[in-house]
Structure 1
Amino acid sequence: MSVFTLTKEHLDVLEEKKLKSNLKLIEKIIRNDDFYSMDQKDMQYFLRVADVLYRYGKAIISDKEYDDKEIWYKENHPESHLYDVVQSDLRESGKTVKLPKKMLSTDKAYSKKEIEKWLDRILNTALNLNIDRDEIIIRVTPKLDGYAAYDDGSTLYTRGDGVNGQDITRAFKRGLKVTKSGKRGLGAGEIVINKKYFDKNLSEYFENSRNIQAAIIAEKNVDDKVKKAINDGACVFYPFSLIDNWTGHYKELLNDFDNIIEKIWNAVDYDVDGVILEAVDSQIKDNLGSTRKFHRWQIAFKRNDEAAEVEVVSVTPQTSRTGRVTPVAELVPTRISGATISRATVHHYKMVKSTGVGPGALLQVVRSGLVIPKIEKVIKPVEPQIPEYCPSCQSHLIWESDHLVCPNKSDCPAQTENTLVHFFKTLGNNDGFGPKNIEKLANLGVKHIHQVYDLKSHQFAMYGFGEKTSKNLYDQLQASQNIEIEDWRFLSAFGVSRLGGGNCEKLLQHYSLDNLFGASVEDIEKLDGFAKVSAEAIVEGLANIREEFFKVYNLGFNLSITPKLSEQQDSSSPIAGAIIVFTGTMLQGKRGDMEKHAKSLGAKVAKSVTGKTTYLVAGTKVGENKINGAKENGVKVLSEQEYLDLIAQ
Structure 2
Amino acid sequence: MSTPTTENPYLRDPPVEFDPVQDLELEAAEEQVERLREAIREHDRRYYAENDPIIADRTYDALFARLQELEDAFDLAHPDSPTRAVGGEPLEAFETVEHVAPMLSIDASGEADDVREFDERVRRELRDAGYDGDSDDGDGNGEVAYVCEPKFDGVSMEFVYEDGSLERAVTRGDGHEGDDVTRNARTIGSVPQRLHDDPPESFAVRGEVYMPKDAFQAHNRERIERGEDPFANPRNATAGTIRQLDPAVVAERPLEVFYFDVLAASDLADSHREELEDFPRYGLRTNDRVEIVSDIEAAIDYRDRLLEARDDLPYEIDGVVIKVDYREAREELGQTARHDRWAYAYKFPARAEVTPIVDVAVQVGRTGRVTPVALLEPVDVGGVTVSRASLHNPEEIAAKNVNVGDTVRVQRAGDVIPYVEEVVEKGSEGHYELPDVCPVCGSTIERNGPLAFCTGGLACDAQRRRSIEYYASDDGLDLEGLGEKTVRQLVDAGLLESVADLYKLPQKRDALRDLEGWGETSVENLVAEIEASREPPLAEFLSALGIPHVGPTTARELAREFGSFEAFREVAEDDPAKLEGVDDVGETVAETIHEFFASEANAAVVDAVLEHVSPQEGDLEDGGDELAGLTFVFTGSLEGMTRGDAQELVEAHGANATGSVSGNTDYLVTGENPGATKLADAEEEGVDVLEEDAFRAVLEERGIEA
What range is the shorter-chain TM-score in?
Answer: 0.3 to 0.5
Q: TM-score, normalised by structure 2?
A: 0.38
Q: Which is greater in Rg?
A: 2
